[in-house]
Amino acid sequence: MQRIPALVFRRLRKLAALSGAEWRDLVVAQVALLRAQWRVWRAPTGTLVAREPVSESAAPGDRDRAYAIALAVSRVAEHGLFRPFCLVRALALQALLTANGIRGSDVRVGVRRENGAFAAHAWIVWRGDVLGDRLDHVARFVEVEDLRVVTKR
């Protein structure tokens, strides 16, 4: 009989310790990531990210709930059915925040040069806080202020 590796056992114990609400959040997050991935595949270039002018301090919503949703999306992105790119994660998180009455989240995009190559990253900001990402990681990118895409006429 084969033994369960220690890492798998620890992960199973963590899953077993989750509350019903946390399990629900994980399932909903997985569906949101799948929908966001489909949206990225299907949407015309330049139509996915648009800024809403909302005062960061006036953005309504429950802070604890926002962080719980962000945690669920991060967990599922790392351990779920697939490993989505940052834009998919950001779009899924934004959709879930909005669905939970948490308004005013903003998808941010940044760029940097890494070992001579161009790198880009997307993340969510709500009430001035980065959600679902590490602040030290986001800080390594220069935010792009104007996300409009020039199209052929």
**According to the per-residue pLDDT averaged within each range, which of 21-25, 45-49, 137-141 is highest?**
137-141
**Residue 22: how many other CB atoms lie within 10 Å:** 14
Rounded Cα distance between 85 and 65, Å, is: 23
Structure tokens at 9: 């056992």
Question: Does the pLDDT at position 31 exceed 90?
Answer: yes
Question: Does the pLDDT at position 17 exceed 70?
Answer: yes
Rounded Cα distance between 102 and 79, Å, is: 25
Q: What percent of the chain has pLDDT over 70?
A: 84
Structure tokens at 71: 């945690």
Burial code (b: 16+ CB inside 10 Å, e: under 16) for 78-114 equals: eebeeebebbbbbbbbbbbbeebebebbbbbbbeeee
Structure tokens at 93: 């998180």
Q: How many residues does the chain have?
A: 153
93 residue type, one letter: L
Question: Does the pLDDT at position 94 exceed 70?
Answer: yes
Report DSSP state, residue 81: S
pLDDT at position 150 is 44
Rounded Cα distance between 109 and 138, Å, is: 9
Extents of the domains making up the chain:
6-143
Average pLDDT (45-72) is: 76
Residue pointed to by tokens 């909302």: 54
Rounded Cα distance between 43 and 70, Å, is: 24
More confident position, 147 or 15: 15
